[in-house]
């Protein structure tokens, strides 16, 4: 086991399938709820008040937002069929929808908002079901850039919270309470060990709140005025099924923001897997599909309930890394807390009474960690100058639009202010640049056949032709043949009869890249262990009998420079990069332009 694994073992105390003590699970669940309840509540409040909605609708929208967030957070953790990630992914109202939701209410009323949210959620279900088709667009560079832009988008509002104190408060009140919160959280996170580190955020918030109470800025009035138990009445807006011009004019904007939210969810689902396991593992894209499907379910329920759409909250990734607890029990606890808060108005009042400077310091630590997680996602599969251009340019475009520095006179009112959100603008830039790269790639050679031993001669003939068109000699052809044959023998292993079990269709795509070859094998999934993980295990644990499948793994590792296995529901995609022998790599291609690419 290498040094990286040792560090990861020390950091992660509870993996998703493990069961921490009930008190710890509830404590961390309450901690996450404390962090995010303000966002869940304040986003619909901002939308409805700016759009001129009624107080009855506002009360209902806040209640519905808490209830839907609780239900979908619970589903993300437990995973119902193909809906849910099976990880701690907290759900809450989405700030990316603020501009378009305000426009929908102002121009069509609450019923129009509800209908648009329901319609756009259907797009997300389709995206989740066919996520493998978007793998070349929703790349780690795109997802990581969107994750990095979340702090850029949110931090201006967080910094404003540092001065969110009543008039007449001593000048030192906000700074002192925020500083104490920040120092306690950072100090415990950096130096505390074992169980104490798990409670770093809670201890920091309590310490900051005590200091705030000393200055008299902890507002107990909100708690006193809130009811103990209650459900708003008369606020549900229903659905506007007229499908008039307003609906069709706003639907594209809602669909695009839903896509951006889905990209954020993809990034969050990838990131939570990175921080929830002791031993680094390949990303399970079935969990990513489940996360996007649960996000779509949340939007569908939000529309039916008549409130602002929701999405995954990236702070759950930061808290998981900070505390080292990735057990899904925590996600279940957060869901239960949100649902309880929906019916117990005093509970969110207690949390909302936490002073702005204390909350700002708390969130600053988490967003700083989130930014680093986004960086790691961008570089996880290696980064070349193309990925660097996509990530770098998109990031600064997002930052520029977020700060109103890029031609505001032209873009501030575009599509209802869509590009005023840095995450949306930067995400769109990353998508467009990635699409441009894909559309301008040389032509790929492809073939389709049965995933069966009898197809090997046909595959070898295809690879022979591909190698010849690129000027590669027998040594490179042998490498290509070995890579494909051993991948098939390992991933879709033979039964005792010597034939592939459960014959399936196989699509093979081949193209030239950086002097070598890239082979992409796509077949229906059998829910087997990830090929990347199995090859990685060979490097860590070399002992044991050399069975047939292990021999295939070792041969595959010998001829391939990198292997990436993406597992989706019903689809396995294995991407193999094969370097040409040095003599052939230095030899110019006989075909000149390399049409086989």
Please give the chain's pLDDT, 597 residues, in tens: 344 444 444 567 777 777 878 888 888 788 777 767 766 876 787 677 767 777 778 778 888 899 999 999 999 988 888 888 888 888 888 766 766 787 788 888 888 888 999 998 888 888 777 776 777 777 778 878 877 887 787 777 778 778 877 777 787 888 888 899 889 988 887 877 656 666 777 788 888 888 888 888 777 776 777 677 877 776 788 888 888 877 887 787 687 777 777 777 877 888 888 777 777 666 777 888 888 889 889 999 999 988 888 888 877 777 777 777 778 888 888 888 889 888 887 776 676 677 878 878 877 887 787 788 778 778 866 677 888 898 899 999 888 888 888 777 777 666 555 677 677 788 888 889 988 887 877 677 888 877 766 778 888 888 888 888 888 888 888 888 888 887 777 665 544 344 444 546 788 888 887 778 888 888 765 555 544 444 444 443 333 333 334 444 555 666 777 777 777 766 777 888 888 776 555 555 444 333 333
Residue 451 · residue 523 · CB < 8 Å: yes
Task: State how far the alpha carbon of 121 is from the alpha carbons of 33, 221, 293, 448, in Å.
Answer: 25, 38, 9, 34
Helix residue ranges per DSSP H, 232-284:
245-275
Residue 38 · residue 363 · CB < 8 Å: no
CATH of the domain spanning 445-586, picked from 3.40.120.10, 3.90.79.10, 3.30.565.10, 3.30.70.1380: 3.30.565.10
Q: So what's the pLDDT on residue 71?
A: 93
pTM of the predicted protein model? 0.62
Give all strands (DSSP E) within 179-221, no chain letters: none
Q: So what's the pLDDT on residue 551?
A: 43
Residue 390 · residue 142 · CB < 8 Å: yes
Closest CA to 595 of 483, 473, 510: 510
Q: Using DSSP, state whether 583 is helix, strand or coil.
A: helix
Q: So what's the pLDDT on residue 50?
A: 67
Query: What's the token pair of residue 294?
Result: 């649960």
Residue 92: which region, alpha, beta or left (left: phi > 0; alpha: psi -120 to 50)?
beta
Triad 350, 353, 354: Cα angle to 5°: 105
Intervals of CATH 3.30.565.10 along the chain: 445-586
Report d(CA 106, CA 53) in Å as an integer. 8
Q: So what's the pLDDT on residue 104?
A: 83
Strands 562-568 and 516-523, bridge-based pairing: unpaired
Report d(CA 568, CA 562) in Å as an integer. 20
Helices (H) and strands (E) in the chain, counts: 24, 7
Q: At 13, phi and psi to the nearest 5?
A: -90, -35
Q: So what's the pLDDT on residue 72?
A: 92
For residue 510, the cross-strand partners are 445, 519
Strands 445-450 and 505-513, bridge-based pairing: antiparallel
Q: Using DSSP, state whether 80 is helix, strand or coil.
A: strand
22 burial type by CB count under 10 A (0-12 exposed, 13-18 middle, 19+ buried): exposed
Report d(CA 347, CA 223) in Å as an integer. 8
């Amino acid at each position: 086991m290498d040094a990286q694994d040792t560090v990861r073992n020390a950091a992660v105390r509870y993996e998703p399938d493990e069961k921490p003590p009930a008190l710890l699970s509830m404590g961390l669940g309450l901690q996450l709820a404390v962090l995010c309840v303000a966002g869940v509540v304040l986003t619909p409040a901002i939308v409805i008040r700016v759009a001129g909605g009624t107080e009855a609708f506002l009360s209902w929208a806040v209640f519905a937002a808490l209830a839907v967030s609780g239900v979908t957070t619970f589903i993300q953790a437990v995973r119902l069929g193909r809906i849910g990630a099976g990880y701690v992914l907290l759900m809450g109202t989405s700030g990316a929808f603020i501009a378009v939701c305000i426009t929908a209410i102002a121009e069509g009323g609450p019923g129009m908002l509800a209908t648009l949210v329901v319609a756009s959620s259907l797009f997300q279900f389709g995206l989740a079901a066919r996520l493998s088709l978007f793998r070349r667009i929703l790349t780690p560079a795109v997802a990581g850039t969107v994750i990095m832009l979340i702090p850029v988008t949110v931090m201006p509002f967080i910094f404003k919270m540092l001065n969110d104190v009543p008039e007449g408060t001593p000048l030192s009140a906000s700074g002192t309470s925020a500083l104490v919160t920040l120092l306690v959280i950072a100090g415990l996170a950096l130096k505390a060990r074992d169980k104490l580190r798990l409670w770093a955020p809670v201890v920091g918030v309590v310490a900051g709140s005590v200091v705030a109470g000393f200055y008299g800025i902890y507002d107990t009035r909100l708690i006193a005025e809130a009811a103990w138990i209650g459900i708003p009445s008369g606020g549900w807006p229903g659905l506007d099924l007229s499908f008039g011009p307003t609906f069709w004019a706003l639907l594209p904007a809602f669909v695009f923001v839903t896509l951006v939210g889905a990209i954020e969810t993809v990034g969050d689902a990838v990131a939570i897997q990175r921080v929830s396991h002791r031993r680094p593992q390949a990303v399970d894209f079935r969990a990513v599909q489940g996360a996007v499907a649960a996000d779509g379910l949340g939007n569908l329920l939000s529309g039916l309930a008549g409130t602002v759409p929701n999405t995954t909250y990236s702070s759950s990734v930061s808290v998981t890394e900070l505390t080292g607890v990735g057990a899904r029990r925590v996600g279940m606890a957060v869901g239960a807390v949100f649902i309880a808060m929906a019916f117990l108005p005093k509970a969110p009042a207690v949390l909302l009474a936490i002073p702005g400077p204390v909350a700002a310091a708390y969130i600053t630590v988490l967003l700083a960690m989130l930014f680093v997680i986004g960086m790691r996602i961008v570089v996880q599969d290696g980064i070349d100058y193309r990925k660097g251009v996509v990530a770098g340019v998109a990031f600064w475009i997002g930052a520029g639009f977020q700060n109103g520095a890029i031609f505001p006179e032209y873009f501030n009112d575009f599509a209802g202010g869509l590009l005023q959100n840095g995450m949306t603008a930067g995400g769109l830039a990353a998508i467009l640049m990635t699409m441009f790269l894909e559309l301008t790639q040389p032509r790929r050679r492809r073939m389709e056949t049965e995933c069966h031993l009898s197809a090997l001669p046909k595959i070898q003939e295809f690879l022979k032709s591909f190698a010849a068109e690129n000027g590669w000699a027998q040594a490179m052809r042998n490498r290509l043949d070995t890579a494909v044959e051993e991948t098939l023998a390992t991933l879709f292993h033979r039964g005792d009869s010597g034939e592939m079990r459960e014959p399936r269709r196989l699509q093979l795509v081949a193209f030239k890249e950086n002097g070598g070859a890239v082979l992409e094998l796509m077949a229906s999934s059998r829910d087997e262990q990830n090929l990347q993980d199995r090859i990685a295990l060979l490097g860590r644990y070399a002992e044991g009998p050399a069975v047939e499948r292990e021999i295939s793994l070792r041969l595959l590792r010998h001829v391939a420079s990198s292997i990436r296995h993406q597992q989706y529901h019903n689809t396995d995609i294995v991407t193999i990069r094969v370097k040409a022998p040095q003599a052939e790599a230095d030899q110019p291609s006989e075909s000149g332009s390399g049409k086989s690419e």
